[in-house]
Structure 1
Amino acid sequence: MTPITEQDGVWRLDGVDLHALADAVGTPTYVYSSATIRARIAELQQAVRGLDARICYAVKANPNLAVLALMAHAGLGADIVSGGELQRALRAGIPAQRIVFSGVGKTEAEIVAAVEAGIWRFNIESRDELHLLCRVSSRLGTLVNAALRLNPDVDARTHAKISTGRAQNKFGVDRDEAWRCFADAAECAYVRLDGLHMHIGSQIVELDPFREALGHVAGFRKELDAAGYPVRSIDVGGGLGVRYALHAPAPVPVQDYADAIRSAFADFDGTLVLEPGRWLVADAGILLTRVIRVKPGAERPFLILDAGMNDLLRPALYDAWHGIVPLHAREASTRRYDVVGPVCESSDTFAVDRDLPMCGAGDLVAILGAGAYGASMASTYNSRPLPAEVLVDAGCHAVVRERQTVEAMLAGEAARGPGIEPAP
Structure 2
Amino acid sequence: MAEKTVPFTKAQLESIIQKYPTPFHIYDEQAIRDNARKLLAAFSWAPGFKEYFAVKATPNPHILKILKEEGIGADCSSLAELILSQQAGIVGENIIFSSNDTPAEEYQAAKDIGAIINLDDITHIDYLEKHVGIPEIISFRYNPGSLLQGGNDIIGYPEEAKYGLTREQILSAYKIMQDKGVKRFALHTMVMSNELSGDSFIGTAVMMFDLVLEIYQKLGIRIEMIDLGGGIGVPYRPEQQAVDLDFVGQGIRKAYEEKIVANGLHPLNITMECGRMITGPYGYLVSTALHKKEIYKNYIGLDACMANLMRPALYGSYHHITVMGKEEYPLDHVYDVTGSLCENNDKFAIDRSLPKIDIGDIVVIHDAGAHGHAMGFNYNGKLRSSELLLKADGSVSMIRRAETLADYFATLDFETCELPLAAATKNK
Q: Secondary structure at the match of 2:46?
A: coil
The correspondence for 1:182, drawn from 174, 187, 191, is: 174
Which residue does the alignment assign to 2:349? 351
Is 1:162 equivalent to 2:155 in the alignment? yes
Q: Secondary structure at the match of 2:179?
A: coil
- Between 232-241 and 128-137, the greater mean CA deviation after superposition: 128-137
The correspondence for 1:246, drawn from 234, 238, 247, is: 238
Distance 1:130 1:259 in 2: 36
The correspondence for 1:148, drawn from 140, 143, 162, is: 140
Distance 1:232 1:331 in 2: 53
Which residue does the alignment assign to 1:319? 316
- Amino acid paired to 1:204: E
Question: 1:24-39 counterparts in 2 under 5 A?
Answer: 24-39=19-34
Which residue does the alignment assign to 1:172? 164
Which residue does the alignment assign to 1:11? 10
Which residue does the alignment assign to 2:406? 407
How far off is 1:69 after superposition?
A: 0.8
Is 1:310 equivalent to 2:307 in the alignment? yes
- Amino acid paired to 1:238: G
Judge conservation of contact 2:120–2:165 (CA < 8 Å) in 1: yes
Q: Secondary structure at the match of 2:74?
A: strand
Distance 1:5 1:222 in 2: 46
- CA-to-partner distance for each residue in 1:382-404, whole Å, 9 max, x for gaps? 10111000000121010000011
Which residue does the alignment assign to 1:100? 96
Is 1:236 equivalent to 2:228 in the alignment? yes
Q: Secondary structure at the match of 2:335?
A: strand
Distance 1:95 1:47 in 2: 25
The structure 1 segments of at least 4 consecutive aligned residues displaced by more than 6 Å after TM superposition are none
Distance 1:317 1:91 in 2: 31
% of aligned pairs identical?
27
- CA-to-partner distance for each residue in 1:100-155, whole Å, 9 max, x for gaps? 01122221110001111112x111110112222223443xxx73311111112321
How far off is 1:226 after superposition?
A: 1.2
- CA-to-partner distance for each residue in 1:29-58, whole Å, 9 max, x for gaps? 000000110110110111111212111111
How far off is 1:247 after superposition?
A: 2.2
Q: 1:152 to 1:389 in 2, by over 3 A?
A: same
How far off is 1:243 after superposition?
A: 0.7
Distance 2:311 2:230 in 1: 19
How far off is 1:98 after superposition?
A: 0.4
The correspondence for 2:125, drawn from 108, 124, 130, is: 130
- If the length of structure 1 is used for normalisation, what is the TM-score? 0.90
Distance 1:158 1:26 in 2: 41
Distance 1:372 1:115 in 2: 27
Judge conservation of contact 1:390–1:401 (CA < 8 Å) in 2: yes
Judge conservation of contact 2:7–2:28 (CA < 8 Å) in 1: no
Question: 1:382-393 counterparts in 2 under 5 A?
Answer: 382-393=380-391
Distance 1:287 1:80 in 2: 25
Which residue does the alignment assign to 2:251? 260
Judge conservation of contact 2:27–2:282 (CA < 8 Å) in 1: yes
* Equivalent residues, number: 404
- CA-to-partner distance for each residue in 1:47-72, whole Å, 9 max, x for gaps? 11121211111111111111111011
Judge conservation of contact 2:52–2:271 (CA < 8 Å) in 1: yes
Is 1:54 equivalent to 2:47 in the alignment? no
- CA-to-partner distance for each residue in 1:318-350, whole Å, 9 max, x for gaps? 000000111135986531101111111011011
Distance 2:251 2:283 in 1: 28
Which residue does the alignment assign to 2:80? 84
Judge conservation of contact 2:312–2:318 (CA < 8 Å) in 1: yes
- CA-to-partner distance for each residue in 1:216-272, whole Å, 9 max, x for gaps? 211111111112122111111111111111123x13211112123222322241211
Distance 1:146 1:97 in 2: 11
Distance 1:133 1:273 in 2: 24
Which residue does the alignment assign to 2:377? 379
Judge conservation of contact 2:151–2:158 (CA < 8 Å) in 1: no
Q: Secondary structure at the match of 2:159?
A: coil
Distance 1:233 1:59 in 2: 20
Q: 1:177 to 1:62 in 2, by over 3 A?
A: same
Judge conservation of contact 1:33–1:285 (CA < 8 Å) in 2: yes
